[in-house]
């Protein structure tokens, strides 16, 4: 009996030892936790309110989906070389994906092709890119935005008058589409409106836009209306109108939003702002890239919407959220 008990005890200890060894071996061979996806988000510039809203959306998606974003872009929206360098740097660093707002529809083609060759997927946001080396395009229907601007201006001018179209920057696909939508609509629907200027570019800063607008107002003091296709051109022109005493006397339709532009809309110095949803744009750029890297199919083109803000609807909750996004959770953007 003692011998049998000893054998039984030995067998139990042997089994326990084997189980312990098996558990230890399993622990040692378990795969390490997967590293967080690292995504580069590259805006056209970093100073305008529009890009801060894009950044806000990207941060919201990064938190929701547990990915890391690296936000970096050129300081000025006309610095093609710097944006190309930023893209190339992220390719060299081997990020998992790139979300890019190309400041030139041609100049950024080669860097995006380079990313594709390195198996780094690219999602394009805000402004289009020639070619097809990206997995999705997330943006406003910019032509429609120009159509809306033309109709608002024509309505307030009663389909007659003399106006300026102050363009933004050559090579920018988004604003070119807005400008073309504006011109095509006036030609088709309000042919009696005369374009005094339609080939002048404001450049990428509010100061250059201000200087151009001031010059045009001096040359054509009897102008009846103005359209500007982005934030910096709108704000620069607003300054020129205010300083010449013409704000509120000339019908002025702008594009995009900032606290100062919203105040000018409320004051009657701007009669309409065409607004996008940049927070949604940044959010979807990161969300869709995360889904793509996870093997999910995503749409090739996604329209994030375009709206018109006026004094009549400025306090509607939906319009107000587009005009003045809530940055309270990310105050350091």
Tens of pLDDT, residues 103-122:
999 999 999 999 999 999 99
Return the closest-CA partner of residue 304 out of 286, 277, 273, 274. Answer: 277
Provide the percentage of residues in the chain whose pLDDT is more than 90.
89
Tens of pLDDT, residues 288-321:
999 999 999 999 999 999 999 999 999 999 999 9
Identify the band that residue 34 occupies on the pLDDT scale cut at 50, 70 and 90: low
Cα–Cα distance, 102 to 124 (Å, whole number)? 7
Tens of pLDDT, residues 40-71:
999 999 999 999 999 999 999 999 999 999 99
Q: With contact defined as beta carbons under 8 Å apart, do 125 and 98 qualify?
A: no
- φ and ψ at 36, to 5 degrees? -65, 140
* CATH code 3.40.50.2300 region(s) in the chain: 38-140+277-303, 142-275
Domain 142-275 has what CATH class?
Answer: alpha beta
CATH number of 38-140+277-303, picked from 3.40.50.2300, 2.60.40.2380, 3.30.70.360, 2.60.40.10: 3.40.50.2300
Return the closest-CA partner of residue 74 out of 90, 92, 87, 61. Answer: 87
């Amino acid at each position: 009996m003692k011998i049998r008990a000893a054998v039984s005890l030995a067998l139990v200890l042997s089994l326990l030892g084997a189980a312990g060894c098996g558990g230890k071996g399993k622990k040692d061979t378990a795969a390490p936790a997967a590293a967080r996806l690292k995504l580069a988000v590259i805006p056209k510039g970093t100073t305008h309110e529009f890009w801060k809203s894009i950044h806000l959306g990207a941060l919201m998606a990064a938190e929701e989906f547990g990915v890391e974003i690296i936000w970096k872009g050129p300081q000025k929206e006309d610095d093609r070389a710097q944006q190309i360098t930023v893209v190339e740097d992220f390719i060299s660093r081997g990020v998992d994906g790139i979300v890019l707002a190309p400041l030139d529809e041609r100049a950024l083609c080669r860097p995006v092709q380079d990313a594709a060759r390195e198996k780094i997927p690219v999602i394009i946001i805000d402004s289009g890119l020639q070619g097809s080396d990206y997995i999705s395009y997330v943006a406003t229907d910019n032509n429609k935005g120009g159509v809306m601007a033309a109709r608002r201006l024509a309505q307030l001018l009663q389909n007659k008058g003399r106006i300026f179209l102050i363009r933004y920057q050559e090579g920018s696909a988004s604003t070119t589409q807005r400008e073309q939508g504006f011109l095509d609509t006036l030609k088709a629907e309000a042919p009696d409106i005369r374009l005094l200027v339609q080939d002048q570019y404001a450049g990428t800063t509010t100061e250059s836009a201000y200087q151009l607008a001031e010059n045009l107002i001096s040359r054509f003091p009897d102008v009846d209306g103005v359209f500007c296709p982005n934030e910096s051109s709108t704000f620069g022109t607003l300054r020129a109108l205010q300083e010449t005493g013409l704000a509120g006397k000339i019908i002025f339709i702008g594009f995009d939003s900032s606290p100062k532009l919203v105040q000018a809309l409320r004051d009657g110095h701007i009669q309409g702002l065409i607004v996008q949803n940049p927070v949604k744009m940044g959010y979807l750029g990161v969300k869709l890239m995360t889904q793509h890297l996870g093997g999910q199919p995503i749409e090739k083109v996604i329209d994030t919407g375009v709206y018109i803000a006026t004094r009549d609807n400025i306090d509607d909750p939906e319009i107000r959220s587009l005009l003045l996004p809530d940055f309270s959770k990310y105050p350091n953007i």
